[in-house]
């Protein structure tokens, strides 16, 4: 009997030792998605495409968008060298600028594709030209959201979606490649930026911005990028207007990782922001169409007083919202409402015609234009990660059959397309600490 008990206890000890990592975890805090089980769905293979075909499609898209013909294909451009090494930027071809949105997307794509050279070159350009280190500037500790390709600033304001992707890409980089030195100490850079996003002191001062065809300097007060009361990301950190948010900036899948990998003192806050964003998705989307506005108030009502540009409608920023909740479901599996949202949204777009639905709508579904945007088609396929209805396969196939974006719209459309390929193939992964 004694030997039998020893054997039982030894077996239990072995099981506990083997299951210390997240893949074996059964902790409800970790959810039940890819973070725990280590499995990422390949929607293309599920639809009958071979892994070889999938690999070829991903490789071809990356090659075109990062190293294709500079006149009509690539969005990534080498820009010389400095003391930190090669420089490169990702540019919005249509608007002739470099944005933190595209730079951070480029870094995320590079780390997922194991392209450290491109990753470091983009980060070097961002830190060299876009980063604010003056302690008296309202954007100190953050990045100007828009520059010309010659490194002349367009706007010194901060667009928090860029910071969010920078932080997560940097954590993935240290986990995949290890730290380098200086600006390539990815962990230190991510921790510093994340701390500023949560705790940056209020600073009042002048901010330069090019608006409505003229240069202007506005005195504002800037602070953290998250609202402490509502646990939500801000559209802007400045006091130029009453605070509000952008639903497409809500990234609960990332916040869960920050809670685990970022400065421990803020772990609870990031867990709370993840929960707040999941609740917000259900409030901010239309109950019939599933459409979200470009900007919104903290209570979920559309924000209607921002530059008079119809930001209370579903438009280009809002393309991304369905991808955010669907990736959150795929990685964490914590909120079943995200599945309902994907089914609702895909039912709406199916009703508009799979090959010709527009890309801008009022929230009730009234169509405002007729352009069948490749970026929207891409994100609607990512929504299939959370969807339960068989129609989801139609959206995956629509992405599969779509060519790599080129021409004047290739920046936003192309980056969303590239990330959608990675998400739908199971190749956009959580890179955990080694």
**Residues with Cβ within 8 Å of residue 107, at least 6 apart in sequence:** 119, 122, 123, 165, 166, 169, 170, 173
**Residues with Cβ within 8 Å of residue 45, at least 6 apart in sequence:** 51, 54, 425
* C-alpha Rg value of the chain to the nearest Å: 22
Around Cβ 208, how many Cβ atoms within 10 Å?
15
Using alpha carbons, list the distances in angstroms from residue 394 to 342, 347, 349. Answer: 13, 11, 11
CB of 316 closer than 8 Å to CB of 412: yes
Angle between helices 392-400 and 410-424 (to 10 degrees): 120
**What positions carry a catalytic annotation?**
101, 317
User: Are β-strands 85-92 and 97-99 bridged in parallel, bridged antiparallel, or unpaired?
Assistant: antiparallel
Two structure tokens written together for 82:
């400095």
CA distance 90 to 93: 9
With b meaning 16 or more CB within 10 Å and e meaning fewer, what string describes 325-353?
bbbbbbbbbbbebbbebbbbbbebbbeee
CA distance 354 to 357: 6
User: Are β-strands 232-233 and 226-227 bridged in parallel, bridged antiparallel, or unpaired?
Assistant: antiparallel
**Residues with Cβ within 8 Å of residue 248, at least 6 apart in sequence:** 161, 292, 294, 317, 318, 319, 320, 321, 324
CB of 193 closer than 8 Å to CB of 163: yes
């Amino acid at each position: 009997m004694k030997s039998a008990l020893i054997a039982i206890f030894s077996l239990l000890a072995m099981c506990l030792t083997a299951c210390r990592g997240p893949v074996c975890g059964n902790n409800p805090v970790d959810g039940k998605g890819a973070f725990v089980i280590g499995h990422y769905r390949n929607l293309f293979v599920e639809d009958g495409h071979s892994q070889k075909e999938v690999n070829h499609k991903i490789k071809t898209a990356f090659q075109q968008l990062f190293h294709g013909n500079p006149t009509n294909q690539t969005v990534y451009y080498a820009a010389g060298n400095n003391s930190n090494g090669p420089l490169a930027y990702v540019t919005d071809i249509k608007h002739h600028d470099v944005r933190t949105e595209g730079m951070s997307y480029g870094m995320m794509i590079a780390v997922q594709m194991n392209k450290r050279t491109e990753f470091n070159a983009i980060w070097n350009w961002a830190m060299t030209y876009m980063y604010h280190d003056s302690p008296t500037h309202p954007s100190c500790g953050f990045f100007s959201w828009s520059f010309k390709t010659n490194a002349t600033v367009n706007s010194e304001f901060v667009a928090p979606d860029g910071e969010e992707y920078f932080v997560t890409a940097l954590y993935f980089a240290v986990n995949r490649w290890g730290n380098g030195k200086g600006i390539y100490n990815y962990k230190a850079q991510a921790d510093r930026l994340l701390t500023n996003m949560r705790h940056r002191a209020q600073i009042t001062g002048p901010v330069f911005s090019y608006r409505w065809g003229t240069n202007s300097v506005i005195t504002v007060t800037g602070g953290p990028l998250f609202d402490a009361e509502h646990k939500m990301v801000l559209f802007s950190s400045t006091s130029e207007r009453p605070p509000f948010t952008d639903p497409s900036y809500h990234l609960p899948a990332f916040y869960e990782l920050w809670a685990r990998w970022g400065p421990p003192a803020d772990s609870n806050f990031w867990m709370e922001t993840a929960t707040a964003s999941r609740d917000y998705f259900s409030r901010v989307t239309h109950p019939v169409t599933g459409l979200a506005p470009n900007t919104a108030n903290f209570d979920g009502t559309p924000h209607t007083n921002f530059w008079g540009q119809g930001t209370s409608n579903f438009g280009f920023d809002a393309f991304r919202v369905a991808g955010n909740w669907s990736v959150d479901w795929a990685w964490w599996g914590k909120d079943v409402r995200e599945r309902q949202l994907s089914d609702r949204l895909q039912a709406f777009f199916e009703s508009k015609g799979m090959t010709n639905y527009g890309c801008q709508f009022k929230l009730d579904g009234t169509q405002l234009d007729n352009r069948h945007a490749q970026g929207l088609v891409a994100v609607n396929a990512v929504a299939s990660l959370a969807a339960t209805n068989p129609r989801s396969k139609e959206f995956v196939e629509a992405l599969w059959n779509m060519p790599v974006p080129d021409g004047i719209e290739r920046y936003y459309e192309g980056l969303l397309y590239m990330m959608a390929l990675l998400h739908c193939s199971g190749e956009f992964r959580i890179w955990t600490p080694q």
